[in-house]
Every structure is written in structure tokens, then in C-alpha cells.
Amino acid sequence: MNLEELKYILSESVEPLPAWDSHEKLSPPYREKYDLELIKRTNPRVASVLIMLYENDYGEIEFPITMRVSYDGAHSHQFSLPGGQFEEQDISLDQTAIRETVEELGVFDEEIEIIKQLSEIFIPPSNFIVYPFIGVHHGTPQFVPDESEVEYVIPLDLEAFLNAEPETFVKEFSGHQVEIPGYNIGDNEFIWGATAMILEEFKDVIKYHLNL
């Protein structure tokens, strides 16, 4: 399957999203299921992220994951999807995802097309509700990461990701060793937390439509 075929399938699909049914599979053990409508009434911060599909020079479909730089914050030095906080000049949440992706990866907004929105997710440590989008980049992007936000970029092969199984790794929280589900992407580096939960729904949606 090429990117145009996948784009058509995803953009035309109208089935209900799996939401928590997918998120729960990659949820850390200490995380509860939140009532998102109740959370929205508390005026949380709002952000968007983008799963940006593109074809590389060999015709293989990929999407980028970024390693955040180290900083004094809840999500320092973690893998994430490109994205960030909604700002007043953004006319919509999908435009937030595009703007932040352009800023972080050095790509051009006119080459990005949004094709589908996934289920929003609440991130308690930073009090964000995050709205994920799937988009396509027309042509193979040349990444020029913003050094103030992105330490490096890892392109993930879509087919390999669809065939990958989650693993667990041990992470320390407040002096306790906790087993966390995630995806090992090599060199003992894991995608976990909200990013893994978002990607699990993304995987389930694609596998459903491709009958995998």
C-alpha cells in the first residue's frame, strides 16, 4: 500500500475511534481513566500533536518521533510526537499541530495535509488535554530540528511499527521501580506514556481498516 491509498482510507473512515480501549493497553499502571468532559470544565491547557506520514526516498511510509531536549519540566528528555500548545493566533487545533511541527522539524506548512483526528488524551503531570492528528507530508521531508526544542529526530517505519509488540521496561518514580509498557525503538530507548497511548490508537485504527 502506498501513502495515497492509506490517506484515502483514513480520510474517508467514519467509524467510532477506539479511544480508551486503545489507550489503556499502553497506559502506565498508575494511570486512571479520566472523565475528559469533566476535565475540560477545569480549564486545562490545550495542545495538539501530529503523526506526520510521508514516503521516504525508497517509497516506504515513515513518521517522525522527536526526542525532547532536557529542561526543567515534566516531560524533559522524552520521546514525543511533534506538537505543542494551542496559541491565540491558531485558528484551529489542527493548525496548532501543523504550526508546531513546522517549528520543531523545519518542514513547510504548505506540504502538510491533515487527514484525520484521533481521540484526545489528558496528561496529568502537565495538565494538558492533547488533540492528536494524522497528516501526510507531500514529498520526502528534510528535517532541520529546532535545537531549542528537539535533541534529535527518529523516523519510524510504519510497517515495522504496525508489526511491533509493546514491551515493558522499568522506570523509577519517587524512589519506586515501576514497570511501564512502551515500544522499544532500539538502543534500549522506549516510547511510553501519552505518546505511546496515542500511537496505540493510531495503530489500531490503521490495522482495523487494513484488516490486519
pLDDT classification of 134: cutoffs 50, 70, 90: very high
How is residue 17 annotated by DSSP?
P
Model's pTM, two decimal places? 0.95
Torsional sign, CA 67, 69, 70, 73: negative
pLDDT reported for residue 175: 74
Q: Are 16 and 63 in contact (CB under 8 A)?
A: no
Higher-pLDDT residue of 32, 194: 194
Spans of all domains in the chain: 3-163+194-210
Closest by Cα among 82, 84, 73 to 47? 84
Q: Are 106 and 187 in contact (CB under 8 A)?
A: no
Tell me the average pLDDT across 150-178. 91
Q: What's the burial of 13, exposed, middle or buried (CB within 10 Å: 0-12/13-18/19+)?
A: middle
CATH topology of domain 3-163+194-210: Nucleoside Triphosphate Pyrophosphohydrolase (3.90.79)
Give yes or no for residue 165 having a pLDDT over 80: yes
pLDDT reported for residue 211: 87
Q: What's the pLDDT tens digit per position in 2-46?
A: 999 999 999 998 889 999 999 999 999 888 899 999 999 999 999
pLDDT reported for residue 212: 77
- What is the rounded average pLDDT for all residues in the chain? 93
Q: What's the pLDDT tens digit per position in 40-63?
A: 999 999 999 999 999 999 999 999
pLDDT reported for residue 176: 80
How is residue 77 annotated by DSSP?
T
SS3 labels along 7-65 = HHHHHHCCCCCCCHHHHHHHCCCCCCCCCHHHHHCCCCEEEEEEEEEEECCCCCEEEEE
Tell me the average pLDDT across 159-171. 94
